[in-house]
Amino acid sequence: MILVTGCAGFIGSNFVHTWLSNHDEPIVNLDKLTYAGNLANLASLADDKRHIFVQGDICDQKLVSELLSSYKPRAVLNFAAESHVDRSILGPGEFIQTNVIGTFNLLECVRAYWSTLPAEDSGEDVNQASFRFLHVSTDEVYGTLGPQDPPFAETNPYEPNSPYAASKASSDHLVRAWHHTYGLPVLTTNCSNNYGPYHFPEKLIPLVILNALNDKPLPIYGDGQQIRDWLFVQDHCRAIIRVLEAGRIGETYNIGGWNEMANIDVVKTICSHLDTLRPRTDGKKYAEQITYIKDRPGHDRRYAIDARKIESELGWKPQETFITGIKKTVEWYLDNPEWVEGVTSGEYRQWLGKQYG
Ligand code: NAD
Ligand code: DAU
């Protein structure tokens, strides 16, 4: 049994699907179901007894402790977070609450649980030596790169720039400290930008796909030359599983696909796939909807991941390139109109209103 948090969201739900396609070991999934948590992402698992869903908050000490003592997981994987940079700029409070306090609470509950386990293998399934706490984090903790800088290595200093990045950096530091001080067997992963199925359409790629199809502007912040290092979400999930299996305790692993692209090129690629797969009825090109707007405050210019550590130590490599992954992603949004309809109501519209007026 493993306990995962935040797995009704984008990456977490992909993780649950990836895990259950390759393992019989069950998953307990603790998720608060914020605006970003969506049980439709897990609908195909409704009758699968290996997936146990619990709605709740990682800040709830009583609930987390009860889940640990009743399910006795051999690992806890923390995906739960407030994840959107723009939201963190508009209102950082929830980011501190979930990302910092929530991680602190999880660590304390897990430490108490872990200290009750037998030290070594004593015939029990779970013991202190084999237990793992895996914390899912981001490359944004490293700050921003100049055009000539080498990609982020695990040894780069932390220089978070947005409230979101600062909250994730704080959580990484807590995880590190719980290992050094209490000996908790932790692993941390720092990944670059993900894309793929079940991505909530506040983030660039799904926002652009859906705005294009709805004849709306495709908003490009600033000059559109900011660079992100894109990774197909299932490659990220496979990397996390690999780190859980074989990562060295106390280590951090950067995860990325060596795939730097300027935002404007990402958007133009999406437009050209849509021109082929679902041409506009008026004969125009989707790229005509591109609209340059005011930049994000404190916008990081470039992220890029040096993934050599996870590649050489753990033998992980991405299976998708951006060319194959972005086509699959556009096709997924075209093939899943019901999912899209479900997430593009209520809360989503309010957000768009606040963000873009
Ligand atoms: P998401 O916003 O899509 O999902 C977050 C999930 O966490 C949601 O299901 C939400 O309901 C849940 N949640 C939020 N607060 C909670 C709380 N207090 N208790 C329990 N559940 C709570 O996020 P995502 O994009 O899937 O990101 C998952 C993790 O991966 C995050 O930790 C994020 O920082 C990290 N990450 C994301 C990316 C990316 O490109 N999306 C890249 C690197 C790392
Ligand atoms: O690098 C990893 C991070 O990637 C994760 O930790 C975050 O959880 C995840 O949200 C993502 O952060 P970004 O800020 O990079 O993602 P976002 O999709 O919001 O933006 C991607 C780029 O596109 C960024 O440079 C801002 C720009 N952008 C974004 C939106 C929503 C636009 O130009 N227009 C937009 O409308």
C-alpha 86 to ligand 1 mean position (Å): 14
Which pLDDT does position 348 carry in this prediction?
62
Q: What is the pLDDT of residues 315-335, one digit of tens each?
A: 999 999 999 999 999 999 999
Q: Is the CB of 87 under 6 A from ligand 2?
A: no
Q: What is the pLDDT of residues 224-275, one digit of tens each?
A: 999 999 999 999 999 999 999 999 999 999 999 999 999 999 999 999 999 9
Coil/strand/helix, residue 262:
strand
C-alpha 323, offset from chain centre: 21
Q: Is the CB of 179 under 6 A from ligand 2?
A: no
C-alpha 174 to ligand 2 mean position (Å): 25
The CA-based dihedral angle spanning residues 12, 17, 19, 20, taken in that order and rounded to the nearest 10 degrees: 140
Structural domains in the chain, CATH included, are 2-198+231-257+304-319 (3.40.50.720)
C-alpha 284 to ligand 2 mean position (Å): 27
Task: Indicate which atom in ligand 1 lies nearest the CA of residue 33.
Answer: 11
- Helical H runs in 254-346? 263-277, 308-314, 322-335, 337-343
Q: Is the CB of 205 under 6 A from ligand 1?
A: no
* Ligand 1 atom 35 nearest Cα: 137
State mean pLDDT over 28-39: 96
Identify the band that residue 351 occupies on the pLDDT scale cut at 50, 70 and 90.
Answer: low
State mean pLDDT over 121-128: 81
- Residue 347 pLDDT exceeds 70: no
Catalytic option among 57, 113, 142, 164: 164
Closest to 273 in 3D by CA, of 223, 219, 204, 322: 322
Residue of 352 and 88 predicted with greater confidence: 88
Closest to 289 in 3D by CA, of 201, 192, 199, 220: 220
Question: Concatenated DSSP letters for 22-76?
Answer: H--S-EEEEE---TT--GGGGGGGTT-TTEEEEE--TT-HHHHHHHHHHH--SEE
Closest to 231 in 3D by CA, of 202, 266, 207, 272: 266
Percent share of the chain, pLDDT over 70: 96
Which pLDDT does position 74 carry in this prediction?
98
C-alpha 98 to ligand 1 mean position (Å): 10
According to DSSP, the residues that pair with 134 across neighbouring strands are: 77, 187
Q: Is the CB of 79 under 6 A from ligand 1?
A: yes
Q: What pTM was estimated for this model as a whole?
A: 0.97
Residue of 303 and 351 predicted with greater confidence: 303
Closest to 30 in 3D by CA, of 52, 62, 61, 1: 52
Q: Is the CB of 102 under 6 A from ligand 1?
A: yes
Check if 139 is active-site. Answer: yes
- Residue 124 pLDDT exceeds 90: no
Which pLDDT does position 355 carry in this prediction?
65
C-alpha 226 to ligand 2 mean position (Å): 10
Identify the band that residue 217 occupies on the pLDDT scale cut at 50, 70 and 90.
Answer: very high
Please state at what angle helix 204-213 crosses helix 263-277, rounded to 10 degrees.
40
Q: Is the CB of 233 under 6 A from ligand 1?
A: no
Backbone angles phi, psi at 18, to 5 degrees: -65, -45
* Ligand 2 atom 20 nearest Cα: 204
Strand 227-229 relative to strand 260-262, pairing: antiparallel
Are the C-beta atoms of residues 212 and 288 closer than 8 Å to each other?
A: no
Which pLDDT does position 121 carry in this prediction?
74
Ligand nearest to the CA of 167: 1
According to DSSP, the residues that pair with 55 across neighbouring strands are: 31
Are the C-beta atoms of residues 334 and 260 closer than 8 Å to each other?
A: no
Catalytic option among 31, 57, 82, 139: 139
How many residues appear in the chain? 357
Coil/strand/helix, residue 2:
strand
Percent share of the chain, pLDDT over 90: 94
Identify the band that residue 356 occupies on the pLDDT scale cut at 50, 70 and 90.
Answer: low
Identify the band that residue 349 occupies on the pLDDT scale cut at 50, 70 and 90.
Answer: low
Closest to 85 in 3D by CA, of 10, 8, 163, 154: 163
Q: Is the CB of 192 under 6 A from ligand 2?
A: yes
